[in-house]
Amino acid sequence: MRARLSITIAAVMAAMLAVSVPVFGHHAFGAEFDPNRPILLKGKVVRIEWVNPHAWIHVEVTNANGTKEVWMVEGGSPNSLFRRGVTKDSLKIGAEVVVDGYQARDYTLKRANGRNITYPDGKKLFLASSAPDAEDKGK
Amino acid sequence: MRTRLMSLIALAATLALTLHISAQAPKPAAKPYTAPRTPDGHPDLQGTYDLATLTPVERPAGAKAALTNEEAAKLERNVAAQVEARGRDIAGERTAPPKGGDGSTGAAGGVGGYNNFWLDPGSSYTVVNGEKRTSLVIDPPDGRVPQMTAVARQRALARFVRPTSDATESRDVGLEPAGSYDNPEQRPLGERCLLGFGSTSGPPVLPTYFYNNLHQIVQTKDYVMILTEMVHDARIIRMNSQHLPKTIRKWMGDSIGHWEGETLVVETTNFTDKTRFRSASEDLRVIERFTRVAPNALLYRFTIDDPATWDRPWTAEYTWPLTNDHIYEYACHESNYALENILRGARRREADAAKKEE
């Protein structure tokens, strides 16, 4: 029985890790962003709006011809980040970041979802949700 | 979507474990807890609670009601490992995601959402009477919401229901039919920052299984207020009062309360047709029972009574653990670029279509 149980657990873990795709938020992402306009942005953070329902990170990108444009990148609700100890200093203005996502359906706007936002070395900006000790709960 | 998928997988595992492991011996009933009192002598329920949990509303057909501690610990470790894996570094030198969508299906519509670091879904199963529960629903005993009546199914089909108090606001897998984006009033209440998604404001109050699961209870002799983190909804319960006339209807209904010993009992009626908990009728009646069961936890139980929708009442319960965390102001509407982007996207499509016709 133990062996079968281990196999079940292993299979479940494998399945869980395999489905690591970004998630959605309080609104219809498909209506806001265009699947046919994928983007990759490399630039520096020039402004952060720590606001609900979605935080927006403004990234200044330098184009091939030397011109600059600022993109707004949609993130999630900042409340959880605040509770995890993230402060204004956790992501500094001027930090270089890489963003992949999809542009807004109104393509005249320089706006996109932050499907992945990382530093240039691929490190995520903040640590993912840390699991609180389950034993503390419900006693 | 991933959150929902994760719950499904956890439940599949629950089901698998059910088949392999015999049930745990029942525990003897613990001595009832007596809560501290407010100045007017009633149990003090005040505090901020974190409702996040891995336990879904319903369990899969045939699954058992509770996990052993060992089973729960394994599943919780799996979830923690998954969260950790999603937080790992990825390639810095990468390309844009694929044109046409990233292959993900469901509500994110192939464009994905945003980094996992924003999220705070549950990390453990809810514990009630020492049991790690596999569903919030406890009656019917199979842990599943009863089938809707034929009349209710017809009604749900006939009406274009904007999910408001019960479902996520993100059902829109791609684009909805013409007219859905004509004006802000056409959009769901959650998308408009008027109520949170997932019945977080309730009643009944459900976990969002996503983020922003904090609720604060404030009590006076005559009123109890429940503040919901998302979208900053405050429900005010009048103690020992009468319901408003049936002509006065409210998004979160009209809540009146009274004490039954250690328990705050709240009855809510007078819902509007703008909020439909699981496609309930306007005659929905929700009975909630709040009981402090430990120094750091409250047991929340609710019964749904709506004969026009379900042929029998049904009941669910879960533990609300107290937290020292603070609820931050949500102020959702002021920065709701998402709604603007959605409506502007629709205007852009219309303009492009008009150009093509010329």
* pLDDT confidence bin for B279, thresholds 50/70/90: confident
Q: Which residues of A touch B103 (CB under 8 A)?
A: 21
Q: Which residues of B touch A132 (CB under 8 A)?
A: 123-124
Mean pLDDT value across residues A22-39: 75
Beta-carbon pairs below 8 A across chains A and B: 345
Nearest CA in chain B to A134: B124
pLDDT at B42 over 90: yes
- Do you find a cis peptide bond into B146, omega within 30 degrees of 0? no
Please report the pLDDT score of residue B256 as a whole number. 98
Please report the pLDDT score of residue B159 as a whole number. 62
pLDDT tens for B300-354 read 999 999 999 999 999 999 999 999 999 999 999 999 999 999 999 999 999 999 9
Mean pLDDT value across residues B191-201: 88
pLDDT tens for B120-178 read 889 999 999 999 999 999 999 999 999 999 999 888 776 654 544 443 344 444 566 66
| Distant-in-sequence, close-in-space partners of B91: CB < 8 Å, separation ≥ 6 | A122
Name the residue among A15, A26, A37 with its Cβ closest to that of B9: A15
Please report the pLDDT score of residue B28 as a whole number. 55
Nearest CA in chain B to A41: B96
Percentage helix, strand, coil for chain B under 3-state DSSP, each rounded to 5: 20, 25, 55
pLDDT tens for B96-118 read 999 988 877 655 668 888 898 99
Overall CATH class of domain A32-129: mainly beta
pLDDT tens for B47-94 read 999 999 999 999 999 999 999 999 999 999 999 999 899 889 999 999
Tally of residues, chain B: 358
The Cα of A48 is separated from the nearest Cα of chain B by a number of Å equal to 12
Q: Which residues of A touch B107 (CB under 8 A)?
A: 24, 28-30
Please report the pLDDT score of residue A26 as a whole number. 58
Name the residue among B21, B104, B212 with its Cβ closest to that of A21: B104
| Contact check, Cβ <8 Å, B90/A122 | yes
Q: In this predicted complex, what is the ipTM?
A: 0.84
* Nearest CA-CA partner of B13 in B48, B64, B49: B64
Please report the pLDDT score of residue A15 as a whole number. 36
Query: Is pLDDT larger for residue B121 or for residue B37?
Result: B37
* pLDDT confidence bin for A139, thresholds 50/70/90: very low
* pLDDT confidence bin for A16, thresholds 50/70/90: very low
**Quick check: A69 and A60 in contact, CB under 8 A?**
yes
pLDDT at B20 over 80: no
Enumerate the domain spans of chain A: 32-129
Name the residue among A19, A102, A117 with its Cβ closest to that of B5: A19
Name the residue among B84, B127, B327 with its Cβ closest to that of A137: B127
Q: Which residues of A touch B345 (CB under 8 A)?
A: 31-32, 34, 104-106
pLDDT at A132 over 70: no
CA angle, B278 as apex, B5 and B253 as ends, to 5°? Answer: 130
Q: Which residues of B touch A109 (CB under 8 A)?
A: 341, 344
Using CA atoms, how far apart are residues A110 and A113, in angstroms rounded to an integer?
Answer: 11
pLDDT at A72 over 50: yes
When the pLDDT of each residue in chain A is averaged and rounded to a whole number, the result is 79
What pTM, to 2 d.p., does this model score?
0.85
